[in-house]
Chains A and B, each alone.
Chain A
Amino acid sequence: MVSLDVLNVSIKYMTGDFRNIGLKDYVVQKLTGKYQVKEFWAVDGVTFQLEKGDLLGILGVNGAGKSTLLKAVSGIMRPTRGSIDVKGAIAALLELGSGFDGELTVKENTYLRGALMGYTREFMQRTYDEIISFAELEEFENQPFKHLSSGMKSRLAFSIACLVSPDILILDEVLSVGDGGFKKKSEARMLEVIKGGATTLFVSHSMEQINKLCNKALWMEKGRQRAFGKAEEICGLYGEYLNNMNKK
């Protein structure tokens, strides 16, 4: 059964200094014909299908369009061209550390994040203690969030996020959270979710990790799809490519 169908997806990004101009400048530039927005295709013609239970690793150097593609699959962005067909509930864990509120306490932030992830209040009340103990933050519960170290912040973020049981799971470099001990624990936890039958997409810079975990892989370069297929094959190709790059 196909659970994710990505068909010829392209995403156009706007760049340039349009972000920093005000309304007045905009009007003036429009009138004088100087207003320009540069566009580039962050993702360009990507096509692949995943069956239920598939584990896809996405490879590529920085700026290859991996994160943009995941944002489109998770519904935060909409593809400029092409279509994405998703069967079932999606949980996207993207760059977990951000989006918390420094002024609220750890507890309040936990509930807020849970709500943002689409959990119910009852669910949060039931699992709150579990979350805090998994994140090892029992002593910090009622402290302002800004007092936490960045490692603690991402630990909490991961602990809230990993409670999901979605049909499709999207992970953007979240398998590398925290220090040695927590990293092991978080990886084990994530594997549990994955083994629960979720179709998973994940970005990692560790080819080893992708080779070990995934059955399929997608290699992207400058927004284009270089290759899609069995994980071992793609990892082999990508490894060769990286070696050649280093020789040059």
Chain B
Amino acid sequence: MINGYNRIIIKLHKYNFLFSELVKRDFKKKYKRTVLGMMWSMIGPLMQLLVMSLIFTRFFGRSMTHYTIYLFTGNIVYSYFRESTNTGMSALMDNAGIITKINVPKYMFLLSKNVSALINFLLTISVFFLFCAIDHIEFSWRFIALLYPVTCLLIFNIGLGMTLSALFIMFRDVQYLYDIFTMLLMYLSVIFYTLDGYAERTRYLFYLNPIYVYIRYFRIIVLENRFPAPSFHALAAIYAITAAAAGAFMYCRYNYKFLYYM
């Protein structure tokens, strides 16, 4: 176990250069080398936020003070999740030409895509904080705790991305099925509505959705200005670790089988 861990560290060090080149490539291709390109990627979530807050404030905003921020937290976390896993899904397929010719660790391609998505997410978060300031949210040192759900979500996304990219190589229709799945998940993630209308017990069922757990963490810190319970931290970590373990299992199991499908 320790030996394997060491090997991975050495490998990571050795492929440091490759990793940065891959990140550069994905970044350049995504934003087409323009500042406007970067802006565009933020405009999507912002427009969605605008439309949603225009429409839903009438229904939910009356009983809540910071409804726009409430909406925004749900939106950025969910958007990051969707973008990261969607781009992660095609990470192996897009690099089929390389994988079949050169012996490089396959997870590098996935990690690189995830870095691009993460940078995008951090950009939107800075806009989010701007909105918080405008909406008179009190900033406190508690905000540092947001690093925790972000880290968990990153690990969760990488793990799920591994599973999806492996499945995508074997079954091309996974893309469409996943589209449907993410759409359903969006409605289950309590992004624009509240759980007030549900019985106490029913509310707990929503925690079966990892994305909601991460969104809720954000809201507890930003809107309720307190720390979530230790058990809540554990739940967030369990989801991340489970996803990562499942992804790692897929890659170990099918590492050499991918080639048949490319």
Q: Which residues in A have some Cβ–Cβ distance to B below 8 Å?
A: 13-14, 18-24, 26, 71, 74-78, 90, 92, 94-95, 98-101, 103-104, 108, 111-112, 115-121, 124
Contacts and interface: CB of A to CB of B under 8 A. Distances in A.
13 contacts: A19-B260, A22-B173, A23-B173, A26-B171, A76-B102, A92-B102, A98-B101, A99-B95, A101-B25, A103-B28, A104-B29, A115-B22, A119-B17
Contacts of A118: 14, 18
B97 A112 contact: no
Given A19-B261, A75-B103, A116 B98 contact: yes
B17 A120 contact: yes
Contacts of B167: 23
Contact of A99 (B21, B102, B103, B174): B102
Nearest to A124: B17
A214 B195 CA distance: 75
B173 A24 contact: yes
A80 B173 CA distance: 29
Interface in B134-164: none
Given A24-B173, A94-B101, A115-B18, A13 B29 contact: no
Given A26-B171, A74-B103, A98 B97 contact: yes
Given A112-B22, A116-B98, A101 B173 contact: no
Contacts of A119: 17
Contacts of A14: 260
A124 B103 CA distance: 19
B43 interface: no
Given A23-B173, A23-B177, A115-B18, A78 B25 contact: no
B103 A115 contact: no
Contacts of A18: 261
Interface of B: 14-15, 17-18, 20-22, 24-25, 28-29, 95, 97-104, 167, 171-174, 177, 256, 259-261
Nearest to A14: B260
B102 A23 contact: no
A190 to B, nearest CB: 18
* Chain B interface, DSSP helix/strand/loop, else mixed: helix
Contacts of B18: 115-116, 118
B146 to A, nearest CB: 33
Contacts of B14: 118
Nearest to A94: B101
Given A23-B177, A108-B24, A115-B21, A99 B260 contact: no
Given A22-B171, A77-B259, A121 B102 contact: no
B100 to A, nearest CB: 7
Contacts of A111: 21
Contacts of B21: 111-112, 115
Closest 6 CB pairs of A and B: A22-B173, A23-B171, A115-B18, A99-B97, A99-B98, A115-B21
A181 to B, nearest CB: 26
